[in-house]
Amino acid sequence: MQLAELKTYIHDVPDFPKKGIIFKDISPLLASAKARTAATALLAKPFEKEQVDVVLGIESRGFLFGLPLADLLHARFVMVRKSGKLPGKLITKEYALEYGTDTLELQAAAIKPGDKVLLHDDVLATGGTAAAAIAMVEQCGGIVVGTSFLIELDFLNGRAHCGSTQVHAVLNY
Ligand code: AMP
């Protein structure tokens, strides 16, 4: 599927969840098996020849394509979740939002020192979420080999916060 066709499955919703934000709604893409398959293959493509031990999906929309991406790359899938959802010993990271802060958590044993980790989320906006997840991987001794997004909002320059490894987005806006 061409990128232009894939883009027809992403709907712009102006002023959601608040005024001035153009929300990228991936629901039409999720509803199409054809578009999902194409999107997953395009997410995996740049990393197919690389060693990826873990795909790290960020709650919650990062789970949707993170899991099939891990399948394609024959990698483990690990969740980064909002606070209070994961059991056991955790790595915790507070990060800044536009208003206030939020906390992400990761099971400490899920990433081993030396693991090669590919981070995935649906949308790269300011990059604050990705930066927090990268810091958590590094705290575990993991090596971030790349970051992968379905959608990148270029004008927010979130990739500046994604470290020095490859930043891959399927669709750019
Ligand atoms: P950020 O930390 O600013 O890069 O924001 C990334 C997170 O916010 C992602 O998990 C997205 O799901 C969500 N997000 C931010 N901006 C948008 C947008 N315009 N449309 C849809 N989701 C967004």
38 domain-assigned: no
Give nearest CA residue, ligand 1 atom 13: 123
Residue 2 lies in a domain: no
CATH of the domain at 101: 3.40.50.2020
Domain count, the chain: 1
To the query of whether residue 76 is one of the catalytic residues in this protein, the response is no
Of 98, 105, 152, 159, which one is the catalytic site residue? 98
With respect to residue 96, please indicate whether it lies within any of the assigned structural domains: yes
Sign of torsion, CA 30 152 125 9? negative
Domain that holds residue 68: 48-172
Is the residue at 106 inside a domain? yes
Would you call 5 helix, strand, or coil by DSSP?
helix
Quick one: tokens of 113? 């020192």
Report the predicted TM-score, pTM, of the whole model to 2 decimal places.
0.97
pLDDT in tens, the chain (173 residues): 999 999 999 999 999 999 999 999 999 999 999 999 999 999 999 999 999 999 999 999 999 999 999 999 999 999 999 999 999 999 999 998 877 899 999 999 999 999 999 999 999 999 999 999 999 999 999 999 999 999 999 999 999 999 999 999 999 99
* Within a domain: 69: yes
Which atom of ligand 1 approaches the CA of 61 most closely?
Answer: 12
Quote the strand ranges of the chain, DSSP E: 11-14, 22-25, 54-58, 76-82, 90-96, 101-107, 116-124, 143-152, 166-172
Q: Active site includes 159?
A: no
